[in-house]
Chains A and B, each alone.
Chain A
Amino acid sequence: SAVISQKPSRDICQRGTSLTIQCQVDSQVTMMFWYRQQPGQSLTLIATANQGSEATYESGFVIDKFPISRPNLTFSTLTVSNMSPEDSSIYLCSVLDYEQYFGPGTRLTVT
Protein backbone atom coordinates (compact mmCIF):
# COMPACT_ATOMS: atom_id res chain seq x y z
CA SER A 1 0.00 0.00 0.00
CA ALA A 2 1.03 3.58 -0.58
CA VAL A 3 2.84 5.33 2.23
CA ILE A 4 1.64 8.88 2.73
CA SER A 5 3.23 11.63 4.78
CA GLN A 6 1.88 15.05 5.65
CA LYS A 7 3.53 18.21 6.86
CA PRO A 8 3.01 19.79 9.29
CA SER A 9 1.53 17.20 11.61
CA ARG A 10 -0.07 19.96 13.66
CA ASP A 11 -0.10 23.73 13.86
CA ILE A 12 -1.65 26.55 15.80
CA CYS A 13 -2.38 29.57 13.63
CA GLN A 14 -3.72 33.04 14.09
CA ARG A 15 -7.04 34.11 12.65
CA GLY A 16 -6.67 35.68 9.21
CA THR A 17 -3.47 33.88 8.25
CA SER A 18 -2.99 31.01 5.79
CA LEU A 19 -1.43 27.58 6.16
CA THR A 20 -0.18 25.28 3.42
CA ILE A 21 -0.31 21.55 4.10
CA GLN A 22 1.90 19.22 2.12
CA CYS A 23 1.12 15.64 1.15
CA GLN A 24 3.82 13.31 -0.18
CA VAL A 25 3.26 9.77 -1.46
CA ASP A 26 5.94 7.16 -1.96
CA SER A 27 4.55 6.04 -5.32
CA GLN A 28 2.92 7.66 -8.33
CA VAL A 29 -0.84 7.94 -8.01
CA THR A 30 -3.36 9.51 -10.31
CA MET A 31 -6.02 10.47 -7.81
CA MET A 32 -5.40 12.39 -4.60
CA PHE A 33 -8.04 13.72 -2.26
CA TRP A 34 -8.25 16.20 0.58
CA TYR A 35 -10.69 15.58 3.43
CA ARG A 36 -11.60 17.62 6.47
CA GLN A 37 -12.56 16.18 9.83
CA GLN A 38 -13.99 18.76 12.20
CA PRO A 39 -13.67 18.04 15.94
CA GLY A 40 -15.68 14.97 16.88
CA GLN A 41 -17.14 14.73 13.39
CA SER A 42 -16.90 12.49 10.38
CA LEU A 43 -14.80 13.10 7.29
CA THR A 44 -15.93 15.35 4.46
CA LEU A 45 -14.31 15.53 1.05
CA ILE A 46 -12.98 18.98 0.22
CA ALA A 47 -11.68 18.30 -3.28
CA THR A 48 -10.18 15.80 -5.66
CA ALA A 49 -6.77 16.69 -7.09
CA ASN A 50 -5.66 14.98 -10.28
CA GLN A 51 -2.29 15.78 -11.79
CA GLY A 52 -2.52 17.93 -14.86
CA SER A 53 -6.00 19.27 -14.22
CA GLU A 54 -7.76 21.71 -11.94
CA ALA A 55 -8.94 20.37 -8.62
CA THR A 56 -12.62 19.47 -8.38
CA TYR A 57 -14.27 20.96 -5.30
CA GLU A 58 -17.24 19.59 -3.41
CA SER A 59 -20.27 21.66 -2.60
CA GLY A 60 -19.49 24.11 0.18
CA PHE A 61 -15.77 24.34 -0.59
CA VAL A 62 -14.27 26.95 -2.90
CA ILE A 63 -10.90 27.40 -4.52
CA ASP A 64 -10.31 30.84 -3.01
CA LYS A 65 -10.55 29.39 0.48
CA PHE A 66 -8.84 26.04 -0.20
CA PRO A 67 -6.46 26.37 -3.15
CA ILE A 68 -4.85 23.08 -4.12
CA SER A 69 -1.77 22.32 -6.15
CA ARG A 70 -0.85 18.99 -7.77
CA PRO A 71 2.47 19.52 -9.54
CA ASN A 72 3.27 15.81 -10.02
CA LEU A 73 2.03 12.29 -9.34
CA THR A 74 3.52 12.07 -5.83
CA PHE A 75 2.82 15.46 -4.27
CA SER A 76 -0.02 17.84 -3.48
CA THR A 77 -0.62 20.86 -1.27
CA LEU A 78 -3.76 22.25 0.31
CA THR A 79 -3.82 25.83 1.54
CA VAL A 80 -6.32 26.96 4.13
CA SER A 81 -6.67 30.67 3.50
CA ASN A 82 -7.79 33.55 5.69
CA MET A 83 -8.38 31.18 8.55
CA SER A 84 -11.04 31.49 11.22
CA PRO A 85 -11.62 29.34 14.33
CA GLU A 86 -14.20 27.36 12.32
CA ASP A 87 -11.34 26.02 10.20
CA SER A 88 -9.92 24.17 13.21
CA SER A 89 -9.98 20.58 12.00
CA ILE A 90 -7.88 17.64 10.99
CA TYR A 91 -7.03 17.80 7.29
CA LEU A 92 -6.28 14.47 5.68
CA CYS A 93 -4.70 13.68 2.38
CA SER A 94 -5.83 10.48 0.68
CA VAL A 95 -4.72 8.60 -2.42
CA LEU A 96 -6.28 5.95 -4.60
CA ASP A 97 -3.76 3.13 -4.93
CA TYR A 98 -6.08 0.22 -5.66
CA GLU A 99 -7.60 0.99 -2.25
CA GLN A 100 -8.04 4.47 -0.81
CA TYR A 101 -5.40 5.18 1.80
CA PHE A 102 -5.07 8.14 4.13
CA GLY A 103 -2.19 10.14 5.45
CA PRO A 104 -1.67 10.78 9.16
CA GLY A 105 -3.50 14.09 9.03
CA THR A 106 -2.66 17.67 9.97
CA ARG A 107 -4.28 18.93 13.17
CA LEU A 108 -4.99 22.63 12.72
CA THR A 109 -6.06 24.92 15.54
CA VAL A 110 -7.00 28.49 14.70
CA THR A 111 -7.03 31.00 17.53
Chain B
Amino acid sequence: AQKVTQAQTEISVVEKEDVTLDCVYETRDTTYYLFWYKQPPSGELVFLIRRNSFDEQNEISGRYSWNFQKSTSSFNFTITASQVVDSAVYFCALSEWGGATNKLIFGTGTLLAVQP
Protein backbone atom coordinates (compact mmCIF):
# COMPACT_ATOMS: atom_id res chain seq x y z
CA ALA B 1 0.00 0.00 0.00
CA GLN B 2 1.07 3.53 -0.63
CA LYS B 3 1.78 5.79 2.33
CA VAL B 4 3.32 9.20 2.95
CA THR B 5 4.73 10.16 6.34
CA GLN B 6 5.47 13.69 7.44
CA ALA B 7 6.80 13.21 10.95
CA GLN B 8 7.06 16.91 11.72
CA THR B 9 3.66 18.14 12.80
CA GLU B 10 4.69 21.72 13.47
CA ILE B 11 7.88 23.71 12.94
CA SER B 12 8.51 27.23 14.15
CA VAL B 13 11.42 29.28 12.86
CA VAL B 14 12.46 32.89 12.89
CA GLU B 15 12.53 34.80 9.64
CA LYS B 16 15.67 34.27 7.52
CA GLU B 17 16.34 30.85 9.02
CA ASP B 18 16.56 27.87 6.70
CA VAL B 19 14.08 25.08 7.32
CA THR B 20 13.73 21.55 5.98
CA LEU B 21 10.44 19.69 5.85
CA ASP B 22 10.77 15.93 5.82
CA CYS B 23 8.76 13.50 3.71
CA VAL B 24 9.13 9.72 3.67
CA TYR B 25 7.05 7.56 1.39
CA GLU B 26 6.19 3.91 0.90
CA THR B 27 5.13 2.32 -2.36
CA ARG B 28 5.51 -1.01 -4.12
CA ASP B 29 5.42 0.71 -7.49
CA THR B 30 8.71 1.08 -9.33
CA THR B 31 7.47 4.21 -11.05
CA TYR B 32 5.59 6.95 -9.30
CA TYR B 33 5.29 10.70 -8.79
CA LEU B 34 6.02 12.78 -5.70
CA PHE B 35 4.55 16.19 -5.00
CA TRP B 36 4.67 19.10 -2.59
CA TYR B 37 1.72 21.42 -2.02
CA LYS B 38 1.40 24.53 0.13
CA GLN B 39 -1.81 25.40 1.97
CA PRO B 40 -1.73 28.95 3.33
CA PRO B 41 -4.27 30.11 5.93
CA SER B 42 -6.66 31.01 3.11
CA GLY B 43 -7.09 27.27 2.56
CA GLU B 44 -6.27 27.00 -1.12
CA LEU B 45 -3.85 24.24 -2.07
CA VAL B 46 -0.96 25.57 -4.13
CA PHE B 47 1.06 23.21 -6.33
CA LEU B 48 4.81 23.53 -5.76
CA ILE B 49 6.53 20.65 -7.50
CA ARG B 50 6.15 17.20 -9.08
CA ARG B 51 9.01 14.74 -9.45
CA ASN B 52 8.96 11.39 -11.16
CA SER B 53 10.71 8.40 -9.68
CA PHE B 54 13.26 8.25 -12.49
CA ASP B 55 14.63 11.68 -11.79
CA GLU B 56 16.65 11.89 -8.60
CA GLN B 57 18.27 15.19 -9.43
CA ASN B 58 17.74 17.83 -6.80
CA GLU B 59 15.74 20.81 -7.87
CA ILE B 60 16.03 24.44 -6.90
CA SER B 61 13.46 27.16 -7.52
CA GLY B 62 14.37 30.44 -5.94
CA ARG B 63 14.42 29.94 -2.17
CA TYR B 64 12.91 26.46 -2.50
CA SER B 65 14.86 23.28 -3.05
CA TRP B 66 13.96 19.62 -3.04
CA ASN B 67 16.10 16.60 -2.25
CA PHE B 68 14.84 13.29 -3.62
CA GLN B 69 16.61 10.16 -2.40
CA LYS B 70 15.20 6.88 -3.62
CA SER B 71 17.56 4.91 -1.38
CA THR B 72 15.88 6.31 1.72
CA SER B 73 12.43 6.84 0.14
CA SER B 74 12.58 10.50 1.05
CA PHE B 75 11.60 13.69 -0.73
CA ASN B 76 12.57 16.57 1.54
CA PHE B 77 11.80 20.23 0.99
CA THR B 78 14.05 23.07 2.10
CA ILE B 79 13.15 26.74 2.31
CA THR B 80 16.18 29.00 2.44
CA ALA B 81 16.00 32.36 4.21
CA SER B 82 12.41 31.79 5.29
CA GLN B 83 9.88 34.62 5.22
CA VAL B 84 6.65 35.23 7.08
CA VAL B 85 4.74 34.58 3.84
CA ASP B 86 6.06 31.02 3.92
CA SER B 87 3.85 30.31 6.93
CA ALA B 88 1.49 27.56 5.82
CA VAL B 89 0.77 23.87 6.01
CA TYR B 90 2.92 21.92 3.57
CA PHE B 91 1.76 18.58 2.22
CA CYS B 92 3.86 15.92 0.56
CA ALA B 93 1.95 13.54 -1.73
CA LEU B 94 2.49 10.44 -3.84
CA SER B 95 0.71 9.10 -6.90
CA GLU B 96 1.09 6.17 -9.22
CA TRP B 97 2.69 6.66 -12.62
CA GLY B 98 0.44 6.45 -15.63
CA GLY B 99 -2.34 4.91 -13.66
CA ALA B 100 -5.99 5.25 -14.41
CA THR B 101 -6.83 7.22 -11.33
CA ASN B 102 -3.96 9.71 -10.76
CA LYS B 103 -5.03 9.54 -7.14
CA LEU B 104 -2.90 11.57 -4.73
CA ILE B 105 -1.98 10.04 -1.38
CA PHE B 106 -1.24 12.88 1.02
CA GLY B 107 0.86 12.99 4.14
CA THR B 108 -0.58 14.56 7.25
CA GLY B 109 1.11 17.87 6.58
CA THR B 110 3.63 20.05 8.41
CA LEU B 111 2.56 23.38 9.80
CA LEU B 112 5.36 25.89 9.31
CA ALA B 113 5.22 29.08 11.33
CA VAL B 114 7.74 31.74 10.42
CA GLN B 115 8.05 34.39 13.11
CA PRO B 116 9.14 37.92 12.20
A residues whose Cβ falls under 8 Å from a Cβ of B: 1, 31, 33, 35, 41-45, 48, 56, 58, 90, 92, 94, 96, 99-105, 107
Assembled-state Cα–Cα distance A37/B61 (Å):
28
B: contact size bracket:
10 to 19
Contact status B43-A104, CB under 8 Å: yes
**Which residues of chain A have C-beta atoms less than 8 A from B95's C-beta?**
100
Of all chain A residues, which has the CB nearest B35?
Answer: A100
Contact status B91-A102, CB under 8 Å: no
Contact status B45-A92, CB under 8 Å: yes
Contact status B43-A107, CB under 8 Å: yes
**Which residues of chain B have C-beta atoms less than 8 A from A58's C-beta?**
103
How many A-B contacts at CB < 8 Å in the complex?
50
Assembled-state Cα–Cα distance A44/B47 (Å):
17
Contact status B47-A48, CB under 8 Å: no
Assembled-state Cα–Cα distance A94/B101 (Å):
13
Q: Does B108 contact A (CB under 8 A)?
A: yes
Contact status B101-A102, CB under 8 Å: no
**Which residues of chain A have C-beta atoms less than 8 A from B107's C-beta?**
42
Given A43-B91, A90-B43, A100-B47, residue A48 in contact with residue B101 (CB < 8 A): yes
List which B12-71 residues lie within 8 A (CB) of chain A: 35, 37, 42-47, 50
Contact status B102-A31, CB under 8 Å: yes
Of all chain A residues, which has the CB nearest B4?
Answer: A42
